[in-house]
Structure 1
């Protein structure tokens, strides 16, 4: 039972999200929102009635100020969602793509970084889905 609401919720919540995989010279493009400690892929939650690709293009435009070309599906990850509470999981649909300009932090994005797997793992907070993605990118 969670202390804050007094009600036991046996069904973990699942957040459906999309993310841009931009992996160049062993470095992955990552962002950190101003309300998060962990870096994650540019992208975000899929709105009701929106396709994964529509959400990807919208989120990347909002967060990085760029459009995408050459978009292709790269994988899907299910993992614990960072900073969303106990029992909350994320299903992250990953797509590769090429920005049509220079990505810059916009909207709620506080930082943009290109990190190696080792640099990411050295961070104080990491997202399990991003660690799994890094592992797959190394293969």
Structure 2
């Protein structure tokens, strides 16, 4: 099991996604926790590292936990994505590990990782993702 934290940030029916250098697939911003980190600490650190903004901690809210086959890993290795919404300060910008930031809609579903596809379905069903 790969345990990850992710930020769901929607604007006008589109979701913020990132593509790492050398990858073709898009992922929600976030990542793995470091030893001893809480979900909030992981979210704040990963978002700062990936998209160069500061999460406003008082606005963090749970947005669901989703599981799927881990992208690019052996069959049976599952990723669990614990998702949060939150406001932020700063200007979104790709960091050194991120090649591209993109605003994706449901039509872009085939361009994202397996767990993100489940999240896209959930958000579309909720009327949040166009």
The reply to whether TM is greater than 0.5 is: yes
Residue correspondences, number:
123
Distance 1:60 1:33 in 2: 13
Distance 2:23 2:35 in 1: 23
How far 1:120 sits from its partner (Å)? 3.0
Which residue among 59, 68, 91 is the counterpart of 2:55?
A: 68
The reply to whether residue 108 of structure 1 matches residue 97 of structure 2 is yes
Counterpart of 1:132? 118
TM-score, normalisation: structure 2: 0.88
Distance 2:22 2:45 in 1: 20
Distance 1:109 1:84 in 2: 20
Point out where structure 2 has 5 or more consecutive residues left out of the alignment: none
**What pairs with 1:72-83 in structure 2 (closer than 5 Å)?**
72-83=61-72
**What pairs with 1:2-13 in structure 2 (closer than 5 Å)?**
none
Distance 1:74 1:94 in 2: 5
TM-score, normalisation: structure 1: 0.83
**More helix by percentage:** 2
Query: Contact conserved, 2:19 with 2:98, CA < 8 A, in 1?
Result: yes
Counterpart of 1:48? 35
User: Please, what is the CA RMSD of the aligned residues?
Assistant: 1.2
Distance 1:24 1:49 in 2: 32
Runs of 4 or more off by more than 4 Å in structure 1? none
Point out where structure 1 has 5 or more consecutive residues left out of the alignment: 1-13
